[in-house]
Amino acid sequence: MRVLGIDCGSEATGYGVVESDGRQHRAIEAGTVRVRRRPEDGLAVRLHFIHTRLCELMALHQPDCVAIEDIFFAKYPQAALMLGHARGVALLAAAEVGLLVSAYPPSVVKRSIGGSGRADKSQVAQLVGAVLGLTSLPAEDATDALAIALTPL
């Protein structure tokens, strides 16, 4: 099974592709879709960029499904709204190619890789590295996406 994990953000959206036979998990690719912040680029242009890049990744890696972090309570309503927009285009990209999308709360993602539901980002990153046998960890957004991709496995 091949899973594309997505950690949505309006400026940096992490992605991670994990393949598994049910016992062994292997990272295929992980990275970050970074949106350029130019004054002339409005929200619609940034969202289109995220959508296009995610569509390219789905075409390249042919995942069997998509795992995405579920909506969570945010301290800043404006930030939550921007996150919701980015998440919406990720859901649209998956729906356009007929992929099943599963959403997981952050605490479930953390527990699924063998940690505590309250583990901090560095603990989650170390667990992801151990589970996938990585010698070096990708950027934070990409590591989070790999953790999300591991959740349904």
Give per-residue pLDDT as tens, 45-104.
Answer: 999 999 999 999 999 999 999 999 987 766 778 878 888 999 999 999 999 999 999 999
**In the predicted structure, residue 131 carries a pLDDT above the cut 90:** yes
Residue 41 appears among annotated catalytic residues: no
Q: Is 22 helix (H, G, I), strand (E, B) or coil?
A: coil
- Residue 133 buriedness (CB in 10 A; 0-12 / 13-18 / 19+): exposed
Dist CA 81 CA 68 (whole Å)? 16
Indicate which residue of 69, 70, 140, 144 is catalytic.
69
pLDDT at position 34 is 94
Identify which has the larger pLDDT, 121 or 60.
Answer: 60
Q: Helix (H, G, I), strand (E, B), or coil: what is residue 57?
A: helix
pTM across the whole model: 0.93
* Residue 91 DSSP label: H
State the pLDDT at residue 33: 97
Query: Amino acid letter at 1?
Result: M
Residue 128: pLDDT band with limits 50, 70, 90: very high
Helix (H) or strand (E) holding 6: strand 2-7
pLDDT at 74: 65
- From the list 21, 70, 141, 144, the catalytic residue is 141
Average pLDDT (125-142) is 94
- The confidence score (pLDDT) of residue 41 equals 82
Whether pLDDT at 31 is above 90: yes
> Is 69 part of the annotated catalytic residue set?
yes
Give the pLDDT confidence score for residue 37 in this predicted structure: 75
Q: Would the pLDDT of 138 be above 80?
A: yes
In degrees and rounded to multiples of 5, residue 18 shows phi and psi of -125, 140
Is 29 part of the annotated catalytic residue set? no
Helix segments in the chain, DSSP class H: 43-61, 77-96, 106-112, 121-132, 140-150
The two structure tokens encoding residue 78: 């404006």
